[in-house]
């Protein structure tokens, strides 16, 4: 079946090939991005994670050609964006909504007028623009705040307006650049839930840029890790999260507190990943009861997300090999991922 935009349904909605972006520097040029290859499937929530300065914003701005790559290709629904210009490029850009850390709302306009703005630019009639803006503000839970100005709204509400605005032109992709980085944890959760809803209900592909692993493990299906302008790892979230192969990935995936554990002095440390298990299931108690040996919880960062446990723990298992084997077997039988923490990262 043909997907919207003419491509085949199973081909990536966005395909980035050998993308490079360099800026003129003092004397020699500075590479912000180098040799980037990414395939983003239609309907995915695709995470891109990296430290500050890694090149995330540059990459997301190359995806909608706000920045022109200095080499390589950005293929959107089968068309090379670098070869488009004028109306065709504007139309492709309108197919990708974008939200930002600082919301970027027009302060002199109400929520409703902010959402209507891109429709005005696209030449949609006033009445139709208003109808569509109201519908979108309802959808993001701001039906009662349509007449409020940004200064009268909380951070989370401002981001909801920005999301409604980004969806106004019925995009097929939503680009989110650190969309929750200015928000507190509870508001972050609610905005991530909204993005997940939009993805599920409207089938919009989301590209989620962040420096926080918890954002990735809450909503993304796939993740790419960017370090110094290069993609160092990519794959399904469970795979990258559970088996980080590079030092850059380990640093992002393992929380700081965990990285500082004296791995060389503590033996038998294992990482236990919670992803998708019921939070009502007392995993550690069951493990101790069934295996008949104690474990020491060295670190825990787990959260309940609507009845599902996510996050990770570090356990110190007993010295006796037979006890450890009992625990490993029990964990395997219960589909619980236990990974030994190595002291030397295999980079």
Ligand X SMILES: Nc1ncnc2c1ncn2[C@@H]1O[C@H](COP(=O)(O)OP(=O)(O)O)[C@@H](O)[C@H]1O
Q: Given the rule CB under 6 A, which residues bind ligand X?
A: 23, 30, 32, 50, 52-58
DSSP assignment of 92-107: HHHTEEEEETT----T
Choice between 195 and 317, CB closer to Mg ion: 195
Kind of pairing, strands 296-305 and 308-316?
A: antiparallel
Q: Does 188 bind Mg ion (CB under 5 A)?
A: no
Choice between 54 and 163, CB closer to ligand X: 54
- Segment 27-86, which members bind Mg ion (CB under 5 A)? 56-57
Cβ neighbours for 41, distance < 8 A, ≥ 6 positions apart: 12, 13, 205, 222
Choice between 23 and 203, CB closer to ligand X: 23
Size of the site for Mg ion (CB under 5 A): 2
Least distance in Å: CB of 135 to ligand X?
32
Instruction: Give helix 111-121 / helix 126-139 axis angle, nearest 10°.
Output: 130
Question: What is the 8-class DSSP label of residue 346?
Answer: -
Choice between 21 and 271, CB closer to ligand X: 21
Is residue 206 within 8 A of residue 174, CB to CB? The reply is yes
- Measuring CA to CA, how many Å separate 182 from each of 54, 105, 130, 189, 196? 19, 14, 29, 12, 19
Residue with tokens 């004028």: 86
Choice between 52 and 151, CB closer to ligand X: 52
Least distance in Å: CB of 92 to ligand X?
21
Least distance in Å: CB of 223 to ligand X?
15
Least distance in Å: CB of 54 to ligand X?
4
- Segment 134-163, which members bind Mg ion (CB under 5 A)? none
DSSP assignment of 135-173: HHHHHTT-GGGTT--GGGS-HHHHHHHHHHHHHTT--SE
Choice between 56 and 145, CB closer to Mg ion: 56
- Of these partners, ligand X, Mg ion, none, which one is at the site of residue 54 (CB under 5 to 8 Å by kind)? ligand X
Residue with tokens 């003419």: 6
Least distance in Å: CB of 211 to ligand X?
7
- Of these partners, Mg ion, ligand X, none, which one is at the site of residue 201 (CB under 5 to 8 Å by kind)? none
Q: Which residue is nearest to Mg ion (CB)?
A: 57
Interaction site with Mg ion (CB under 5 A): 56-57
């Amino acid at each position: 079946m043909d997907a919207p935009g003419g491509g085949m349904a199973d081909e990536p909605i966005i395909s980035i090939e050998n993308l490079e972006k360099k800026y003129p520097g003092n004397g020699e040029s500075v590479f912000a991005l180098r040799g980037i290859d990414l395939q983003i499937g239609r309907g995915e929530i695709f995470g891109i994670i990296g430290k500050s300065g890694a090149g995330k914003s540059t990459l997301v701005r190359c995806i909608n050609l706000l920045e022109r790559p200095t080499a390589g290709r950005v293929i959107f629904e089968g068309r090379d964006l670098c070869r488009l210009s004028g109306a065709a490029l504007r139309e492709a850009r309108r197919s990708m909504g974008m939200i930002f850390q600082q919301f970027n709302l027009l302060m002199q306009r109400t929520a409703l007028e902010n959402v209507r703005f891109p429709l005005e630019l696209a030449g949609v009639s006033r009445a139709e623009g208003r109808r569509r803006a109201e519908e979108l503000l309802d959808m993001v839970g701001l039906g009662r705040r349509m007449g409020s100005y940004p200064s009268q709204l909380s951070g989370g509400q401002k981001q909801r307006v920005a999301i409604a605005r980004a969806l106004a032109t019925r995009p097929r992709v939503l680009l989110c650049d650190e969309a929750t980085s200015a928000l507190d944890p509870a508001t972050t959760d609610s905005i991530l839930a909204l993005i997940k809803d939009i993805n599920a209900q409207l089938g919009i592909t989301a590209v989620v840029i962040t420096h926080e692993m918890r954002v990735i493990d809450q909503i993304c299906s796939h993740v790419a890790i960017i370090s110094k302008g290069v993609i160092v790892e990519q794959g399904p979230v469970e795979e990258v999260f559970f088996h980080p192969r590079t030092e850059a990935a380990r640093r992002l995936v393992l929380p700081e507190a965990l990285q500082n554990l004296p791995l060389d002095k503590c033996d038998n440390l294992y990482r236990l990943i919670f992803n998708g298990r019921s939070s009502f299931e007392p995993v550690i108690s069951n493990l101790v009861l069934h295996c008949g040996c104690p474990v020491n919880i060295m670190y825990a960062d787990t959260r309940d997300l609507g009845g599902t446990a996510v996050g990770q723990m570090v356990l110190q298992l007993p010295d006796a090999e037979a006890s450890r084997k009992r625990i490993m077997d029990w964990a395997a039988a219960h589909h619980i991922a236990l990974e030994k923490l190595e002291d030397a990262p295999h980079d």
